[in-house]
Amino acid sequence: MRDNDLRLGVFALLYKSLGWWPVLRASGATEAHDIRIVLGQPSGSLIDIELCWDEAQELALELLDSLPAYGPRSHPLRHRLARGNLRNDHLRFEIPSVAAPLFGDRPSVVIGFRSDGHEAVVPPSLNAEGEGRAWWGFPDNPEYWKDGELEDAGGTTAALAVIAYAYGRSPGNRDVICEALTGVLALAGLHPGDIEVFVEKVAFLAKDEDWFRRGTGAAGICARIDAGEYVMNVAELCRELGIEPIADTLRQWFGIEGGSGNAAPGRERNVGGDDHE
């Protein structure tokens, strides 16, 4: 038995001990093997989350950090695993074609979710470039997310990744951009403490030298919404960033109702991985 086959066998036993369904596959002319996990119900409602943009991988440190992560050594946080039931077994947060020219050669898919009917290629398998996949910490069994919560977290992560990319390239007034982003996150029903963290993170990823003071004012903006006062919305944020064609998509990802209006949803979104079963 080859050393690599023995190593794959050890990992297969580990995955079986976690209640997952591992499968060994041969690939390529050299018959190199990799190991995959059957997603969905056979592995305890397991979901693979692929964070295709670097900004999404960084933002997941705030929004999805409780979930086991793995990836090639060049992008060790590219994938995370969760458990739950998706509305769609292959859900993608994807840039619409009308907005694609705004994002250069970036992949159209910012984040992808896969569950039943799909497999995930997991460590220690190699990727197409020959890099070994590795775990970021021990691959413990991930927590179970309530229906809809994982999609909420994914949509928020994808939207913030798009905004961080555009923010870093926008010549607009950064104070206005951050005020608009704070208002958008408040309209999305997020907690003021989470809003402050996310605005600072976006500014940091955009290399804003004043990132550490960008998250202030969230509580006041939330209070203005509660009082029925006006705050800047998604359309205005996208106009400041120069990405108007993606406004409707971002509104959908944030879960903001009411078209381009100013009405907040009638629920508070939990996007940080807390209080799950």
The answer to whether 115 touches 86, Cβ cutoff 8 Å, is yes
- In this structure, the answer to whether residues 174 and 122 fall within a common structural domain is no
Domain assignment present for residue 45? The answer is: yes
* Residue 205 to residue 58: CA distance in whole angstroms: 8
* Residue 276 to residue 66: CA distance in whole angstroms: 11
Q: How far is CA 239 from CA 9, 156, 172, 245, in A?
A: 53, 19, 9, 9
The answer to whether 70 touches 139, Cβ cutoff 8 Å, is yes
In total, how many domains does the chain have? 2
Q: How far is CA 246 from CA 95, 129, 189, 249, in A?
A: 8, 32, 20, 5
Residue 80's DSSP bridge partners are: 49, 69
- In this structure, the answer to whether residues 129 and 15 fall within a common structural domain is yes
Higher pLDDT, 171 or 175: 175
Domain assignment present for residue 20? The answer is: yes
Which DSSP state fits 45? Answer: S
- In this structure, the answer to whether residues 31 and 120 fall within a common structural domain is yes
- In this structure, the answer to whether residues 7 and 96 fall within a common structural domain is yes
- In this structure, the answer to whether residues 130 and 238 fall within a common structural domain is no
Express each pLDDT in 60-83 by its tens digit.
999 999 999 999 989 999 999 999
Domain assignment present for residue 143? The answer is: no
pTM to 2 decimals?
0.90
Express each pLDDT in 117-151 by its tens digit.
999 999 999 877 788 899 998 888 899 999 999 99
- In this structure, the answer to whether residues 8 and 121 fall within a common structural domain is yes
- In this structure, the answer to whether residues 124 and 230 fall within a common structural domain is no
- In this structure, the answer to whether residues 132 and 36 fall within a common structural domain is yes
- In this structure, the answer to whether residues 29 and 86 fall within a common structural domain is yes
- In this structure, the answer to whether residues 8 and 118 fall within a common structural domain is yes
Q: Identify the domain boundary among 83, 115, 136.
A: 136
| Torsional sign, CA 109, 160, 119, 105 | positive
* Residue 68 to residue 106: CA distance in whole angstroms: 25
Domain assignment present for residue 275? The answer is: no
Whole domain around residue 185: which residue ranges? 168-254
